[in-house]
Amino acid sequence: MRLIFKRFVAMCTVVIIATFLLSLLMRLLPGDPAAVLVPNAPDQVRDVIRQETGLSKGIFGYYWQWLSGMLTGDFGKYYLNGGYRTVASVLQRCLPPSLYLIMYSQIVALVIAIPLGLTSAYKEGSRFDRITSSVLFTTVSVPAFALGLILSLIFAVQLGWVDPIGYESPFGHPWQHFKLMILPVISLSVGLTSSYTRLLRTDVIATLKEDYVTMAASKGISNRRVLWKHVFRPSSTTLLTSAALNMGGLIGGTIIVETIFVIPGIGYEIAYSIGARQIIAMQTLIALVSFAYVFFNTAVDLLTNLTDPRTRERRG
Amino acid sequence: MSSLLKIDDMSVRFATPRGDLKAVNNVSIELLKGESLGVVGESGSGKTVLSRATMGLLPSTATRTGTITYQGQDITALPKDEVRELWGTGMAMIFQDPMTALNPVRRVGSQLTESLTVRLGMNKKDAKEKAIELLKRVRIPDPEAMLRKFPYQLSGGMRQRIMIAIAVSCEPELLFADEPTTALDVTVQAQVLDLITELRKESNMAMILVTHDLGVVAGHTDKIAVMYAGDVVEYAPTRELFSNMKMPYTEALLKSIPRLETPTGSRLPVIEGRLPDPTKNEPGCPFANRCPYVTDKCRAEKPPLTDGGNNHFYRCWFPLGGVK
Amino acid sequence: MADETQTMPETVTSAKKKKPVGFYIAGSWIVLILLAAVFGWALPAPQWDQSFYDSLGVSPFHHSHILGTTLDGYDMFAGLVNGARLSVFVSLSAVVVGGAIGSVIGISSAYFRGRIDILVTMAFNVMLSIPNLVLSLSLISVLAFSDENHPATTARRVGVLILSLTIVIIPILGRISRGATLQWSSREFVLASKSMGTSNFVIIRKHIIPNVAPAILAIGFLAIGSVIIVEGSLAVLGIGIPGGASWGSMLANGRGNIAYSPWEVYLPAGCIALTVISCNWFGDYVRTTLDKRESKI
């Protein structure tokens, strides 16, 4: 319990400092922030916006107003051609596509990486292992945007198998949803798969040398059972930790993939708000992303601490 | 009694970047049903490799030659799957270090019942009952609570008892015990050995006990094979070996055992020198450099395994007590 | 088993072993890129920023444009060579400067521990809590701010890009050097040296840095790779270096023409991928040789 509390406090501190620095950064913008938000609006409108966002106050006042807004569900606004849209309503629309994209990519990566990593570790040094290792080494280095562009060129533009851009909800048009998701998911999951496989391979090779694995084999149970029940279980913690740690990188990756494939997700919105200089929306979105990232790290850290007997052993 | 295990001319080599490492050289050993054999030697003498090779638990870098006949069947000729069928139910092993040989992320219960459900096809309830009974047999208090524990919650002695329970769970004919007490406190070593011997007697299990401690095997084995640098250098019934020791090496091993009556502070006799490089093929007796009785002949020619009568074999040109 | 294997002879010294094939492949690519970056201007190629209106979008292996031209008539080969210069300049300066700052902070905070260390760790955690790309995106959007009347110059954009990438690199290499220093500063030889009254500065210079440097170097190579990727990503998002002056920028410009002249995407993407692979390979190589050395101690 004390551990949970300690980690929670540490997490909140990190998030608060990060978001405060973010606010500071926004205030460092040269020129009048209100003029940046609504370049062509008259002064009265700018005054209203200054009041609304807290830009009229000092940096602490501004941060406090933003933070209390965040905590009460007021995520700020996009200011568009005289009107506005709340960030909350945009989030409602852009969160699902990103979540699907991230979820599919993680699932695809894990589903491929687990058998691949286990097999190449089990057959360490074999031809299969050497080929997998070198292929994975190459693919882990290929940037997602290059892969995305080339995939879209081949499969969407030249072969015409899928549409190059767009997004459909899985409930309205499930088939179209999957067709549109295939290329973005591949672009994101190739790098992930490689890094997971490599990680799992290293870990499993180390685990295979453990006495308890020989012990399990000496019971006369099948190799498959030894591999899954005795080797994979201890190694899976490392894999899950890394999967959670990759969430941050994935959110970064979604920005680029969502832009290339024009998927209206959170990454796309971040890129849009930066391009349109909607600094309030930008601050909110980036803050949410870092919060999610820190939250995942903390949660996984806690979970492994609580569930893996080995870390308990180290502590006690 | 009939023959249970017959190792004939078995050698084990490991491929290393510096060439083949000869871990076991042309060893022949026979074990009857219910009999127990002690394999004794320093670390690096090949005794652990001998036991693992017999069972077939070697890494892929190792090659094994010779034949191993188990219950009249040559198991070196069997495919790996059929050998595995023998593991657990025919041959089982107790590992050296109970701290590392139990899976840290699985509960005691699941590790103990695994062989029962997978190998003997018991259902969960029966397996649990049997597990409790096994834990009682290895004298673990409150066995039901024990099933739910993780290895890290237990002491070394407790873990070793669990490992023994796992090894005997499928009632094997032959038990390999690889330094079963080395990692334990001196106070529990004797208990654990007595427990193994008692379990063995109850179900007429044969045993190969691997240890570096000649004192350990004395009370618990019927015969002893002393190994040095991959060779069996002395092989005799336990009583015969202690009353009529032939090998200078065995004598040196015996002297290196600490005794209660040794005055504290006095220097423990150790065997001076090191084992020969197992990747090189040097002429002469491998022990020559460390032997107090060495002669020119020992350095020039390797002695063969000689029959000294009374089932006593030795590998020395000038055995203690002279040639018969 | 364990005691048996320990007496096995040590493996032959790996220094004499032949270098793996990848060493030469990755090495020659990096040398090629560096040469192109430094001496590229001397090559008998057309101007990179000159449009050839008589040959728009010719495919590669054309007699006067070896790698073809873009749909706007820019020579691909000249563009790639020029892009190499900017990409190398941006990534090297970001990693070297960021690495230097990060290492100094990491090493000293780990060596002196105490309150400063807690503060530094916290600062690193804060910076690492924002994904790389998001961090550099927001930094650039703020620092390279421009309105329609005063567009930011390319030089300023490059400067801002380097600055923001440097800020991204600092916590990454800082954390690595902090971890490595923690591990080494508790070794006996450091304690022994301390007990002899050696000054902290000398200990860091003589004992810590030589041991920590390989780890920093390994991650440094990986960092170069990720900086190149981030540069490309930013260009694709439209806020990197404009005008096809870097690989990422060429790729971003070529995106629109993908159906007509796909080499506009393939070639810069290939250059980026090969460079990243080579850098990662060297990072991996340094790390594995380091591991081997470590395991022998």
Is A68 in the same domain as A180?
no
Confidence band, pLDDT 50/70/90 cuts, at residue B10? very high
Domain final position from A22, A54, A89: A89
- State the pLDDT at residue C218: 85
Q: Convert the pLDDT of each residue in C168-190 to its tens digit.
A: 889 988 988 888 888 887 777 87
Read off the pLDDT of each residue in C203-212 and give the average, rounded to a whole number: 82
Torsion angles phi and psi, residue C127, rounded to 5: -65, -35
Q: Are residues A292 and A243 in the same domain?
A: yes
DSSP track, A1-45? -HHHHHHHHHHHHHHHHHHHHHHHHHHTSSS-HHHHHSTT--HHH
| In a shared domain, residues A277 and A218 | yes
CB B148 within 8 A of CB B107: yes
**Cβ–Cβ contacts within 10 Å for residue A89, how many?**
12
Q: Reading across the β-sheet that carries B91-94, which strands appear in turn?
A: B91-94, B174-178, B206-211, B36-40, B223-228, B231-237, B313-314, B306-307
Contact C130 A289 (CB under 8 A): yes
Distance from CA of C5 to the nearest CA of B (A): 8
Interface contact B46, partner C, CB < 8 A: yes
User: Which of A44, A73, A89 lies at the terminal end of a domain, its last residue?
Assistant: A89
Tell me how far CA of residue A41 lies from CA of A37, A150, A221, B14, C200, in angstroms: 9, 42, 75, 82, 60
Please check whether residues A53 and A105 belong to one and the same domain: no
Residue B229 C-alpha, separation from nearest chain C C-alpha, in angstroms: 11
**Residue A199: its H or E element:** helix A174-208
- How far is Cα A60 from Cα A62, in angstroms, rounded to an integer? 5
Closest residue to B275, CB basis, from C7, C11, C12? C7
Looking at residue B208, its pLDDT comes to 93
Percent pLDDT > 90 in chain B is 17
pLDDT at A46 over 50: yes
Nearest to A49 by CA among A33, A60, A64: A33
* Count: domains in chain A: 2
Across the interface, of B17, B49, B279, the residue whose CB is closest to C4 is B49
Task: Tell if the CB–CB gap between C9 and B18 is shorter than 8 Å.
Answer: yes
The answer on pLDDT for C3 being more than 70 is no
Cβ of B106 within 8 Å of Cβ of A310? The answer is no
Residue C221 CA to residue C200 CA, distance in Å, equals 29
Residue with tokens 């601050």: A283
B136 contact partners, CB below 8 Å, separation of at least 6: B143
Any chain B CB within 8 A of the CB of C7?
yes
> How near does any CA of chain C get to the CA of B20, in Å?
11
Residues A61 and A210 in one domain: no
Q: Please give the share of chain A, as a percent, with pLDDT higher than 70.
A: 94
Which CATH number covers residue A138?
1.10.3720.10
3-state secondary structure B57-77: CCCCCEEEEEEEEECCEECCC
Same domain flag for A304 and A183: yes
Same domain, A289 and A148: yes
- Interface check for A228 against chain C (CB to CB < 8 A): the answer is no
Q: pLDDT value at position B266?
A: 55
| Beta carbons of C130 and A141 less than 8 Å apart | no
Q: Quote the DSSP letter at residue C191.
A: H
* C-alpha to C-alpha distance for C219 and B132, rounded to whole angstroms: 52
Cβ within 8 Å, pair A290-C131: yes
| Together in a domain, A82 and A112 | no
Q: What percent of chain B has pLDDT over 70?
A: 95
The tokens describing A282, both together, are 């930008």
* Coil/strand/helix, residue B174: strand
The whole-number pLDDT of residue C78 equals 79
pLDDT exceeds cutoff 50 at C268? yes
**Residues of C (91-150) whose Cβ lies below 8 Å from B:** none
Are the Cβ atoms of C4 and B21 closer than 8 angstroms? no
What is the average pLDDT score of chain B? Answer: 85
The answer to whether A11 touches A295, Cβ cutoff 8 Å, is yes
A226 and A178 assigned to the same domain: yes
> In Å, what is the CA distance from C268 to each residue of A82, B48, B85, C232?
41, 58, 58, 10
Band of residue B267 on the pLDDT scale cut at 50, 70, 90: low
Tell whether C133 is within 8 A of chain A (Cβ).
yes
Domains of chain C by start residue, with CATH = 65-296 (1.10.3720.10)
Contact list in B for residue C12 (CB cut-off 8 A) is: 17-18
Cβ–Cβ contact C259 with B under 8 A:
no
Q: Distance, in angstroms, between C43 CA and closest chain B CA?
A: 48
Q: What is the pTM of this model?
A: 0.76
**CB contacts, 8 Å: B105 with chain A:** 233-234, 237, 308-310
> Residue B205: which pLDDT band, with cuts at 50, 70 and 90?
very high
Within 8 A of C4 by CB-CB distance, chain B residues are: 23, 43-44, 46, 48-49
Whether A77 and A106 map to the same domain: the answer is no
Mean pLDDT check: name the lowest of B8-22, B92-106, B110-124, C69-83: C69-83
- A81 Cβ under 8 Å from any chain B Cβ: no
Surface of B (238-277) touching C: CB under 8 A: 275, 277
Q: Which has more confidence, C17 or C37?
A: C37
Chain C contact present for A140, CB below 8 A: yes
Nearest-Cα residue of chain A relative to residue B56: A218
Token pair, residue B13, equals 């080599």
The residue segments making up the domain with residue A173 are 93-315
For residue C5, pLDDT over 60 is answered with: no
Residues A78 and A121 in one domain: no
H-helix or E-strand containing A261?
none
Which chains lie within 8 Å of chain B at 3 or more CB pairs, if any?
A: A, C
The residue out of A68, A89, A110 marking a domain boundary is A89
Burial of A231 (0-12, 13-18, 19+ CB in 10 A): buried
> Any chain A CB within 8 A of the CB of C259?
yes
| A82 and A128 assigned to the same domain | no
Nearest to B104 among A221, A229, A310 (CB): A310
Average pLDDT over residues A161-184: 83
Measured in angstroms, the CA of B56 and the nearest CA of chain A are apart by 9
CB C236 to CB A251 under 8 A? no
